Amino acid sequence: MAIPDDDLGPAWLRDYGRIEADIEAMSAFARALIAEIQDNYVPHATRVIADMEAEHPRPAGDFREHARFLAEHETAMRAATDNVYWYVQAGNRLGNAAAEISTRYADADAFSAAQTHDVREALEASGATEAR
């Protein structure tokens, strides 16, 4: 008895093969990503966040359009500030997950024996992805 087509998953994914990971490249990626974020992004991000969190003057009296503009501007600045902050967090988590995977499988054969489950587990443990 064959498995029904509905239970096989998408057609484009049915013939996938093994996934190979270059552990040395993953290790280099992890080091480069973390260094890039810490050396070249964080110094600027800190300054940008501080500038965006500065207090703005209150709108004049009955100028409602100006008050609405400032409210929308504040919302946009908060979203931008959050994006800058969370980019640092997510980038570091991704770099740490890649470092963990490359460390765990550094002594494996030329192409790692890492399983998809192991990669997903490392990403979830680092916080780079949310557990499903």
**pLDDT tens digits, 65-121:** 988 998 899 999 999 999 999 999 999 999 999 888 888 877 765 444 556 677 778
pLDDT digits (tens, 9 = 90+) for 22-72: 788 888 999 999 999 999 999 999 999 898 888 888 888 788 898 899 889
- Enter the tokens of residue 91: 């980038």
Q: Enter the DSSP assignment of 38.
A: I
Amino acid at 37: I
Task: Give the whole-angstrom CA distance, residue 33 versus residue 120.
Answer: 19
pLDDT at residue number 81: 92
Cα–Cα distance for residue pair 114/121, rounded to 1 Å? 11
Predicted TM-score of the model (pTM): 0.60
